[in-house]
Amino acid sequence: MSHPGKTVFVFGCYMLLLGVPLLLAPNLLLGLFGFPPTDEVWVRILGLLVLYLGAYYMLAGRKGIEPFIAATVPIRASVIFVFAIFVAAEMVSPMLLVLGLPDVVGAWWTWHALRSQRLTGTVATS
């Protein structure tokens, strides 16, 4: 697995770890971040989508699908800005920004790995 692939694979693992409690016990996770409990099914649906996205990230990372890996960088980096807009509009608790940190850190890690790979001329390995 290439270094950029590993970064996306690890992020996919994080998404699986986030998706499971959102799907199975959403109020546990919501409470940890200071959000009120809910009986809405939408949080569970979000958990399922996070699980599915995590699986895609893990597969793309494992297979070294560089166009996908590269596309994740600006997309993940944008999450914190969108969350900040929600917070500034007083739509959500500032704790939402904590959930955006792994996206920013992961995006930077992947960008750095892609840049290093391009500078050294290394190619993806299985």
3-state secondary structure 87-117: HHCCCCCCCHHHHHHHHHHHHHHHHHHHHHH
Q: Following CA atoms 19, 20, 25, 30 in sequence, which dihedral angle do they give, to the nearest 10 degrees?
A: -30
pLDDT recorded at residue 126: 45
Q: Angle at the Cα of 13 (from 75 to 20), degrees rounded to 5? A: 100
pLDDT recorded at residue 47: 96
pLDDT tens, N- to C-terminus, the chain (126 residues): 899 999 999 999 999 999 999 999 999 988 888 788 999 999 999 999 999 999 999 999 999 999 999 999 999 999 999 999 999 999 988 988 998 999 999 999 999 999 998 888 766 554
| pTM for this predicted structure | 0.86
